[in-house]
Amino acid sequence: MHYYTYDGSFEGLLSVIFEVYEHKAWPDKIDKQGQEQPGIFASSHHVLTDEAKAARVWNGLQKKLSESACTDLYKTYLWEQPGFEMLIFRYVELVFASKTNIEENFAEDCVRHISQISKQIFREKHRMEAFIRFQKTEDGLFYATISPDFNVLPLLKTHFQKRYADQAWLIYDVKRRYGLHYDLENVSFICLEEATVHAKTGASPANILSEKEPLYEMLWQTYFDHVNIPERKNKKLHLRHMPVRYWKYLTEKQARLQ
Amino acid sequence: MNERIQEKLKILADAAKYDVSCSSSGGKRKNSNKGLGNAEGMGICHSYTEDGRCVSLLKILLTNFCIYDCAYCVTRKSNDIKRAAFTIEEVVDLTINFYRRNYIEGLFLSSGIFKNADYTMERLVRIAKKLRTEHKFNGYIHLKTIPGASEELIKEAGLYADRLSVNIELPSEVSLKNLAPEKNYAEILTPMGNISDQLQLSKDERKLFKAAPAFAPAGQSTQLIIGASKENDQQILTLSSNLYNSYNLKRVYYSGYVPVSEDSRLPSLVNPPIIRENRVYQADWLMRFYGFQVNEIVDDQNPDLDLEIDPKLAWGLRNLSVFPVEINTADYELILRVPGIGVKSAKKIVAARRFAPLSLEHLHKFGVVLKRARYFITCKGQSPESKDFTAEIIRRRILFGEGSVRNALVKQQLSLFAMAG
């Protein structure tokens, strides 16, 4: 029985995989440090993140998989659900045990599972691209908060960088407490002082919004109300496309402004 | 001032909403000038109305003043409604500010016809031009082509717009004459032909010379109204098929007629024909993504689509001799024709069977709807069913059998039929 812990980074997880192969000590469980359940495993190892070792594992995978399959492994890491480490390990084990590329072998549970996760992550990322609503602040920053089901913020960088090249913006994940900031030159990850955002709703204090912000929010709500065709009302379909948990960020789902 | 613009937005969004097209995909406009917006790749639905339709674009009319009197149209001259008109600056300002807040992918601009076709079209083009040149806007722009507008203007429109569309609305010339006496098919098909020619021309030019200006890179589309006139599904789908083939259309949209007037020339409907519209869309998909010809879906014996079952299942039941299909060996094209198997699961099947023979269990995990597919396949030579059923029995088992819940919409509409009857 081998139990591994790592620092929670993707490189850390790849370092674990390196150690596993080096010592031929196959894991029964891999956890982020600090989430250990002590006592039940005969042998536990804490693996320090080693960029060189991580790179060797990653290069090995890149040789045997397409780029999109490698991305799927990274997405599984961003998925963050219990057991994702062992799922990644099982997949990697299958890759290295096979002479041919296994990424389309959907009859294997871990291959199918990771392809489903990739789809889930894609969907959540796409939802963020759709449902993020920026508010313009007094100093011209376009600000939005999110709390996605999965850690998709790193995947949003390219999309928003291309789209809003001429405006400064900040997307802040209130659940994971970090943000993505574009200053008209570069995009970088940042952490904010707790005081600047409301911890629960993520709302910024109203007095820092630009003077015209309420006008455009009101006009968007008006548009939303009038593009609807009441004769075709279909609540079930509406909710399937726009689950209630996303409403808190949607300007059009807030109380009507006058 | 704020109230006035709000009032205009109310009127001109209301007037534009019966045009169902809302696609923002297929554009190739990259943000290469450090401007605003990027319209490459896939479309994004930023919101959904309570009727479940996607909201991707700011879809408005420039004005709902109109010199025409088309019976099916809410903006017709004789209709007693509030009229309004945006200024060019107002449309530009709304588009930019909505886009900056990530409310929309871009603008879908149409208009009632005031003065004449060219006068109206010229204003639509001017808005698109202003957005592109003065505001460096690279978001999506869909312009409606006004029937009867000159070739020159259409050509200019295509330089700034990602998509152009001319709505045919009525699926036959007879209905058009009856319901929209001032319009004729030639006026609609001529610009459509122009756009199609320009698209081809620009494609050829860009093959030789990469920097040649792109013309409406997301192509052209049109809309047909379902249920406002007497055409059957065979007539409608044959028209669509011709449009896809001869005019190179990207999409034909179908809009179930929502009663907007009490005209004796129009049917009196209780509800918009939502199920019929859905079946027509399914048939359209079969033509575009599943390799079906229109005469396989509807023919003289079956001119209308079955409301209770989807058109692929209906085709399968009429062609039982093609089946069963062996999942582990059949061609992709044939697997795609199995009712209950979509494009994604068909691809998965073809990819995965290279590693090991597939069982029913695998198909289930790939997302195949076995409730339908089970009557049409074998896995490793074995049929999931112990005996052969007739088409009638398969149909009944799929619709009612094995405790299956019927499509909620069918139920709803059937009970409405019952009430009406």
Q: Report the pLDDT value the prediction gives residue B186, as an integer from 0 to 100.
A: 87
Yes or no, beta carbons of B100 and A164 under 8 Å apart: yes
Q: In percent, how much of chain B has pLDDT > 90?
A: 60
Q: Which of B24, B32, B49 is the best substitution to test chain A (most A C-beta atoms within 10 A)?
A: B49
Q: Report the pLDDT value the prediction gives residue A25, as an integer from 0 to 100.
A: 92
Q: Report the pLDDT value the prediction gives residue B319, as an integer from 0 to 100.
A: 95
pLDDT at A97 exceeding the cut of 50? yes
Yes or no, beta carbons of B53 and A129 under 8 Å apart: no
- Looking from the CA of B125 toward its CB, the CA atoms found within 13 Å total 20
- Using a CB-CB distance cutoff of 8 angstroms, which residues of chain B are in contact with residue A133? 101-103
Q: pLDDT tens across A151-179, in order?
A: 999 999 999 999 999 999 999 999 999 99
Residue B184 has φ and ψ, to the nearest 5°, of: -145, 160
Q: Report the pLDDT value the prediction gives residue A89, as an integer from 0 to 100.
A: 97
ipTM: 0.91
Q: pLDDT tens across B6-19, in order?
A: 999 999 999 998 88
Other CB atoms within 10 Å distance of the CB of residue A232:
18
pLDDT at B196 exceeding the cut of 50? yes
Q: Dump the DSSP string for B267-330.
A: ---SS--HHHHHHHHHHHHHHHHS---HHHH--SS--S--SSS-HHHHHHHHTGGG--EETTTS
Across the interface, of A112, A132, A223, the residue whose CB is closest to B58 is A223
Q: Report the pLDDT value the prediction gives residue B415, as an integer from 0 to 100.
A: 57
pLDDT at B164 exceeding the cut of 80? yes
Q: Report the pLDDT value the prediction gives residue B404, as an integer from 0 to 100.
A: 42
Alpha-carbon gap, residue B210 to B193, rounded angstroms: 24
Q: pLDDT tens across B242-286, in order?
A: 999 988 899 999 999 888 777 888 887 777 888 999 999 999 999
pLDDT at B39 exceeding the cut of 90? no
Residue range B113-119: mean pLDDT, rounded: 92
Mean of pLDDT over chain A: 91
Across the interface, of A107, A227, A233, the residue whose CB is closest to B55 is A227
Closest CA to A61 of A42, A39, A88, A79: A88
Q: Report the pLDDT value the prediction gives residue B213, as an integer from 0 to 100.
A: 79
pLDDT at B49 exceeding the cut of 80? yes
User: Which chain B residue has its CA at the smallest distance from A102's CA?
Assistant: B355
Q: pLDDT tens across B165-190, in order?
A: 998 889 998 898 888 888 888 888 88
Mean of pLDDT over chain B: 89
Yes or no, beta carbons of A223 and B54 under 8 Å apart: no
Please tell me whether residue B224 adopts helix, strand or coil conformation.
strand
Q: Report the pLDDT value the prediction gives residue B18, as an integer from 0 to 100.
A: 85
When pLDDT is cut at 50, 70 and 90, the band that residue B421 belongs to is very low
When pLDDT is cut at 50, 70 and 90, the band that residue B147 belongs to is confident
- Using a CB-CB distance cutoff of 8 angstroms, which residues of chain A are in contact with residue B53? 229, 232
pLDDT at A38 exceeding the cut of 50? yes
Across the interface, of A126, A130, A226, the residue whose CB is closest to B14 is A226
Q: Report the pLDDT value the prediction gives residue B264, as an integer from 0 to 100.
A: 81
Alpha-carbon gap, residue B227 to B278, rounded angstroms: 12
Return the amino acid letter for B359.
Answer: S
Residue range B315-332: mean pLDDT, rounded: 95
A199 to A131, A137, B30: CA distances (angstroms): 20, 19, 37
pLDDT at B294 exceeding the cut of 90? yes
Highest averaged pLDDT of the listed ranges A21-25, B173-177, B414-418: A21-25
Yes or no, beta carbons of A228 and B45 under 8 Å apart: no
Return the H-helix or E-strand segment holding A180: strand A178-182
Closest CA to A47 of A91, A94, A89, A110: A89
Residue range A203-215: mean pLDDT, rounded: 78
Yes or no, beta carbons of B51 and A142 under 8 Å apart: no
Alpha-carbon gap, residue B143 to B111, rounded angstroms: 9
Least Cα separation, residue B32 to chain A (angstroms): 9
Q: Report the pLDDT value the prediction gives residue A205, as an integer from 0 to 100.
A: 56
Among A28-37, A190-199, B66-75, which stretch is predicted with the lowest mean pLDDT? A190-199
Across the interface, of A132, A227, A234, the residue whose CB is closest to B52 is A234
pTM exceeds 0.90? no
Yes or no, beta carbons of A232 and B358 under 8 Å apart: no
Q: Which of B42, B48, B61 is the best substitution to test chain A (most A C-beta atoms within 10 A)?
A: B48
Other CB atoms within 10 Å distance of the CB of residue B80:
4
pLDDT at A16 exceeding the cut of 50? yes
Query: Crossing angle of helices A51-64/A84-97, nearest 10°?
Result: 60
Q: Report the pLDDT value the prediction gives residue A203, as an integer from 0 to 100.
A: 55
Across the interface, of B35, B59, B98, the residue whose CB is closest to A227 is B59
Q: Report the pLDDT value the prediction gives residue A91, as an integer from 0 to 100.
A: 97
Alpha-carbon gap, residue A242 to A228, rounded angstroms: 15
pLDDT at A219 exceeding the cut of 50? yes
Environment class of B1 (CB within 10 Å of its CB; exposed 0-12, middle 13-18, buried 19+): exposed
Q: What tokens appear for A234 in the block?
A: 């279909």
When pLDDT is cut at 50, 70 and 90, the band that residue A199 belongs to is very low
Q: Where are the domains of chain B?
A: 2-219, 321-420
* Contact yes or no for B177/B144 (Cβ under 8 A): no
Q: Report the pLDDT value the prediction gives residue B405, as an integer from 0 to 100.
A: 45
Yes or no, beta carbons of A238 and B51 under 8 Å apart: yes
**Residue B110, C-beta contacts closer than 8 angstroms, at least 6 positions apart:** B16, B19, B59, B60, B61, B62, B124, B143, B144
Q: Report the pLDDT value the prediction gives residue B183, as an integer from 0 to 100.
A: 85
CATH number 3.20.20 is the correct assignment for the domain at B2-219: yes
pLDDT at B317 exceeding the cut of 70? yes
pLDDT at A197 exceeding the cut of 80? no
Q: Report the pLDDT value the prediction gives residue B33, as an integer from 0 to 100.
A: 81
**Residue A96, C-beta contacts closer than 8 angstroms, at least 6 positions apart:** A21, A60, A64
Across the interface, of A105, A234, A250, the residue whose CB is closest to B355 is A105
Yes or no, beta carbons of A105 and B356 under 8 Å apart: yes
Q: Report the pLDDT value the prediction gives residue B26, as an integer from 0 to 100.
A: 75
